[in-house]
Amino acid sequence: MSQQRKHIALSVYDRTEEHYEEQIGLTREELMDSVIALLNRAQEQRRRVIFGFDHNYSFPIGFYEALFQEPPSSWKASLERISGMLDACRDPLNGELAPRRWARQVNEKLSGSCGIPGGPFWGPRFAPKPLPEWFRMLPERRWVEQRDNRMKSIYQISGIGSVGQQSLYGMHYLSRLLNACDALGIPVHVWPQQGVNLPPDSHVLVEVYPTLYWKALSRTGQRSDRGDARACVDWISQEDANGNLAHWMDLAVLPDQILETLPLEGWVLGVKELETGAKNTW
């Protein structure tokens, strides 16, 4: 818990008041509570919030079918199933979430059902990188990660730059946050999983990637969790003020084969295919 507390930062920008609010050293529970309080306050004031978290919200296409042995009904339903599985796989000694333990169990289950040694989850001091057969059967990366290759695969569960363990924690808390919002009557639209067109009266949840925004804002210097949170807020605020946010949220220029995966795989705000077919570079 002490290590976790060092690495979570929250940054909020109030456009009306032109005011920043920052919290650092949060636990995941505290982060979730702070976001719910923010949304509840905005709801009472009849204001809208666009917000996001720096982790994957989903797996590459094909993972849910392989794990559940049936087509997923929706991203949110799949998120809840993953969250429930993580909840049931807590560390027996301390009762805390154990995403690496869950990933090992998934590797064993998929290896048995697919007849391929190993499993999709890998990383130093965890498991070797999967055989090529795995990623011929299950894509290693979501489409958005293939468009910007700085992003790491959720299947890398440990090692430098890995996002897997952080994303598994994040998906569990994301499911809890969305269920809490439902119970409180706080409308949240998850873009683009629940559609690229935004309802006029909902808060909007997006997946963010600080590295992208640091480059877009031409920022230099040493990176920090506080700086990453601020970069996300600054870029989104800047694009909103310039009237460009709608451009980044309109994904119609993406090929049909990618558009078809958005309801399950989602997308990262700020990554976009240009009409020329070239990767977007800042």
CA-CA distance, 108 to 97, in Å (whole number)? Answer: 19
Helix, strand, or coil (residue 145): helix
CA-CA distance, 244 to 248, in Å (whole number)? Answer: 7
- Please report, in tens digits, the pLDDT of each residue of the chain (282 residues total): 334 455 799 999 998 888 999 999 999 999 999 999 999 999 999 999 999 999 999 999 999 999 999 999 999 999 999 999 999 999 999 999 999 999 999 999 999 999 999 999 999 999 999 999 999 999 999 999 999 888 999 999 999 889 999 999 999 999 999 999 999 999 999 999 999 999 999 999 999 999 999 999 999 989 999 999 999 999 999 999 999 999 999 999 899 999 999 999 999 999 985 333 334 433
Per-residue pLDDT, 246 = 93
Cα–Cα distances in angstroms (integers) from residue 161 to residues 96, 153, 157, 172, in the given order? 23, 10, 10, 21
**The 188-190 sheet, strands edge to edge:** 50-53, 203-207, 188-190
Per-residue pLDDT, 272 = 82
- Taken in order 64, 70, 74, 76, the sign of the CA dihedral is negative
Per-residue pLDDT, 161 = 85
The torsion angles phi and psi of 188, rounded to 5 degrees, stand at -130, 125
Per-residue pLDDT, 1 = 38
State pTM to two decimals: 0.93
Per-residue pLDDT, 6 = 59
Per-residue pLDDT, 108 = 97
Q: Return all residues near 170 (Cβ < 8 A) that are at least 6 apart.
A: 53, 55, 56, 57
CB half-sphere exposure, 227, CA atoms < 13 A: 11
